[in-house]
Structure 1
Amino acid sequence: MGLVTSTKYLLHARDNKYAICAFNIHNLETLKAVTSTSFESNSPVILQATPGTVRFAGADYLVAMAKTAADKYNIPIVMHLDHGEDYNMVLECLRAGFTSIMIDGSKHPYTENISIVKKVVELSHALGVPVEAELGTIGGVEDDLSIMGDGVYTNPEVAFDFIEKTGVDSLAVAIGTCHGLYKKKPQLDYVRLAEIRKLVSIPLVLHGASDLLDESVKKCIELGISKVNIATELKIAFSAAVQTVYYEKPAENDPRKLFTPAIDAMKAVVKNKINLVGSADKVTRISH
């Protein structure tokens, strides 16, 4: 069916109180694990790549692999730029065929964030591609992204103003999550999330969902989250499986024998997350 944009699927998730997983991919193996499991679960899925992954793998390679999976499995697959850092990166990904864009201007002053996002929205919307932005800052370290401290929480009233001025299609909100693994138990501000949901209608995004308790993810979805980002848990599953092979067979040098267990380990994570957010068996319902 080819790659799709995310808007229709995120709106369906918003209206029906479930979420769609966005899994960060880095190579063929991570992509195969995510897409094959999504097919088995009959779930829409968002593949996403950070600027670091785009530089590592190449935007054109990522799109080509994602298109192959979309044609093979005939489920809705989105190719999304995660935490796009500048206009040139966005342009590169759009030219390659990405079907969803995040531009992250959250580290800049508010008015500059608006200006950055608005420029990307104008470009992406001209091509029919939706845009995600971030308001507040989500702390932690993931891939090539590093935010010192605990971040700055999203102000509900400011979120409404931001959406009105930028025309953004979805919004990543800062409510106490962080990228990477948690060094201490996160204190999520559910009241803040509920207030944001009351004031804005566009789909809301939860970054830093790896390592969160299942009940925390479920409560965030109940309160209005429609997209849940998963990155670190996939990387841990991948690396742990490879390390196990080396531990058991130190002389192993066949990548296929290293990566097959890694794919299986990641598939288990993907299946668990799809069931957690409630997107399994949603493809047919959305289509009709």
Structure 2
Amino acid sequence: MARITLRQLLDHAAEYGYGVPAFNINNMEQLLAIMTAAQAVDAPVIVQASRGARAYAGDIMLANMVAAAEAMYPGIPVCLHQDHGNDEATCFSAVQMGFTSVMMDGSLEADAKTPASYQYNLDVTTRVTELAHKLGVSVEGELGVLGSLETGKGEAEDGHGTDQTLSHDQLLTDPDQAVAFVEATKVDALAIAMGTSHGAYKFSRKPDGEILAMHVVQAINQRLPGLHMVMHGSSSVPEELQERFNRFGGNMPATWGVPVEEIQRGIKFGVRKINIDTDCRLAMAAEIRRVATEKPDEFDPRKFLKPAMDALSALCRRRFEEFGTAGNASRIKPLSLAAMARRYQSGSLNPRAPLSVAV
């Protein structure tokens, strides 16, 4: 099955009322585990690569791994997404490598550390969107800075994220400003700031409305019902994975992630893409620690990586089922980038008019 754009996939998700987990990849093992889970439950896939992942694996390796996975799992539509593009060059180099979607994160300046002005964000995101849409490629923007409402701090991930102390105005997306931003930039999806953050240590207690601002999702959805929202930093950091990691020599303090039930609530109010990375790393790392502990004489990397892949695949399958993604791959007929470009050019694609893509 052909590669799919983020816009087409999220329009389908909106039409059928589900969300799509977006899993970060750095290597072959992660990609194969995700695809195995997707095939098992007939789910479309968003795989995304950060700048750090592209530097680690190399663009040519990443692009060809995804192409190989598409050939191995021909019934699964795959969106290849640039996560947290920091400037125009990052976004357009991704497009050149076959990415069908890019995130222009203008909430921070090009150094990926300094909080940007609204005007900077508006201008750079508009420039990326205008050119990307001419090529049929989808664009995700971001408004508001990811960070903790408890501490006021951001969390760096793969070199992306501010270490400054932020105000609540910066940490929470303004719903009225979100409408103006989307209508001006024409982004296909908007990442919102609502108290989530990167990494494992998101909350010091089970999150409630004071530290996980789900009301922001509802307020934006009321103003712009057709908008596809994105929740970043949405790993749930399950207690059982923490326990398993620590049982085999890890040292992770107790922490709380984003509860699955809150994500499911968000899906009802327009959240369509849910970014998950920490859970994936934790699932794999726990199994690698287990094998190292139980079989100290083992030195074959495959004996560590195969159980790690199985654990990741089980996690991904669970998220596909929990978010309603399962059962939808075979209902989608991917459109080419050229076809998507024509739709953008005709003006038929805008946040108030989702594209129907059912077979």
TM-score of the superposed pair, with normalisation by structure 1? 0.95
The gaps in structure 1 that reach 5 residues or longer are none
- The C-alpha deviation readout for 1:218-254, integer Å capped at 9, x for no partner, is 1111121011111000011111111111112223221
Q: Give the share of equivalent positions with the same residue, in percent.
A: 38
Map of 2:213 onto structure 1: 189
Return the match for 2:173 from 154, 170, 191: 154
Contact 1:177 1:207 in 2 (8 A): yes
Question: In 1, Cα distance between the equivalents of 2:294 and 2:159?
Answer: 31
Higher mean C-alpha deviation, range 100-109 or range 175-184: 175-184
Question: In 2, Cα distance between the equivalents of 1:20 and 1:210?
Answer: 13
> Counterparts of 1:77-226 in structure 2 under 5 Å?
77-107=78-108, 108-139=116-147, 140-148=155-163, 149=165, 152-181=171-200, 182-184=202-204, 185-186=206-207, 187-200=211-224, 201-211=226-236, 212-226=258-272
- The C-alpha deviation readout for 1:146-195, integer Å capped at 9, x for no partner, is 33357611011101111111111110011222222223233322222111
Superposition misfits of 4+ residues, deviation over 4 angstroms: none
Map of 1:263 onto structure 2: 309
Contact 2:107 2:143 in 1 (8 A): yes
Deviation, structure 1 residue 46:
0.2
Q: Per the alignment, in what secondary structure is the counterpart of residue 216 of structure 2?
A: helix
Task: Name the Cα RMSD after superposition.
Answer: 1.5
Contact 1:2 1:71 in 2 (8 A): no
Contact 1:210 1:232 in 2 (8 A): yes
Identify the structure with the greater strand proportion.
Answer: 1
Higher mean C-alpha deviation, range 208-217 or range 75-84: 208-217
Aligned AA for 1:133? G
The gaps in structure 2 that reach 5 residues or longer are 109-115, 148-154, 237-257, 334-358
Identify the structure with the greater helix proportion.
Answer: 1
Aligned AA for 1:284? S
TM-score of the superposed pair, with normalisation by structure 2? 0.77
Contact 2:104 2:128 in 1 (8 A): yes
Question: In 1, Cα distance between the equivalents of 2:159 and 2:300?
Answer: 29
Map of 1:228 onto structure 2: 274
Q: Per the alignment, in what secondary structure is the counterpart of residue 257 of structure 1?
A: helix
